[in-house]
Chain A
Amino acid sequence: EVQLVESGGGLVKPGGSLRLSCAASGFTFSSYSMNWVRQAPGKGLEWVSSISSSSSYIYYADSVKGRFTISRDNAKNSLYLQMNSLRAEDTAVYYCAREGTGRRGFDLWGRGTLVTVSS
């Protein structure tokens, strides 16, 4: 089955760190650019970061630049998001999303993992 499964979310104090993982299966993970998108409670979608298939190109939203690091391990079919210096406003459901081949939007999403930053 073609799917993405996120893990690693939880409750963390302000200033703390968390590492999210996204396990891919059912497709050739190494052929796709991947993204993290988040959604704060009751709010809309916010793109967080993207990484190209070979990790050559990496981009971040200004809101997380310098605090979050995206990476991938194509041998393990896995995507990661290392989140440091967490703030209350980082509280959200974090989704990993596959970028469709040939610039077709984000065609596959995981179910998301909830990150709560609170003291």
Chain B
Amino acid sequence: AIRMTQSPSSFSASTGDRVTITCRASQGISSYLAWYQQKPGKAPKLLIYAASTLQSGVPSRFSGSGSGTDFTLTISCLQSEDFATYYCQQYYSYPPYTFGQGTKLEIK
């Protein structure tokens, strides 16, 4: 199974900051990578698919990049509603679909 590793596992930032979360695959996955946002007690929400394509309705301050094994999610100007946990997921080789362990973004 392909292993997905996110970094950092958690960190603190302030509104207005630019933040970047990284995700590394244990083997090449082309661009078959998605990013999800999850708030406490809620279901995950798809933000980005195909590594860099913004899901409809997602604010443009979110962007994704990368291919192969290394990927990033960037939030250009943090808003209060962006404090959440973020997960990457590969869908290049399945089963199983695999998720990263999550990155919890907290308010500084």
Expressed in whole angstroms, the minimum distance between the Cβ of A96 and any Cβ of chain B is 10
A32 is an interface residue with CB less than 8 A from chain B = no
Interface stretch (choices B16-24, B70-78, B94-102): B94-102
- From known contacts A44-B87, A107-B55, infer whether A35 and B97 are also in contact, taking CB-CB under 8 Å: yes
Q: Are A45 and B96 in contact, with the CB atoms below 8 A?
A: no
> Which residues of chain A have C-beta atoms less than 8 A from B53's C-beta?
104
Expressed in whole angstroms, the minimum distance between the Cβ of A24 and any Cβ of chain B is 14
Interface of A is mostly: strand
* A106 vs B43: C-alpha distance when bound (angstroms): 11
Q: Are A61 and B89 in contact, with the CB atoms below 8 A?
A: no
Across the A-B interface, how many residue pairs have beta carbons closer than 8 Å?
67
Range of interface residues on chain A?
A: 20 to 34
Within 8 A of A (CB), among B53-94: 53, 55, 87, 89, 91, 94
> Which residue from chain B places its CB closest to the CB of A99 in the assembled complex?
B91
Q: Are A59 and B94 in contact, with the CB atoms below 8 A?
A: yes
- From known contacts A106-B34, A107-B49, infer whether A47 and B97 are also in contact, taking CB-CB under 8 Å: yes
Q: How many chain B residues have a CB neighbour from A under 8 Å?
A: 25
> Which residue from chain A places its CB closest to the CB of B89 in the assembled complex?
A105
Q: Are B91 and A109 in contact, with the CB atoms below 8 A?
A: no
B50 is an interface residue with CB less than 8 A from chain A = yes
> Which residues of chain B have C-beta atoms less than 8 A from A61's C-beta?
95-96
Q: Closest 3 interchain pairs by CB?
A: A105-B34, A59-B95, A109-B43
Q: Can you name 29 A-B pairs with beta carbons within 8 Å?
A: A35-B97, A44-B102, A45-B36, A45-B44, A45-B87, A45-B99, A47-B97, A47-B98, A50-B94, A50-B97, A59-B96, A61-B96, A100-B46, A100-B49, A103-B49, A103-B91, A104-B49, A105-B34, A105-B36, A105-B89, A105-B91, A106-B36, A107-B46, A107-B49, A109-B43, A109-B44, A109-B45, A110-B43, A111-B42
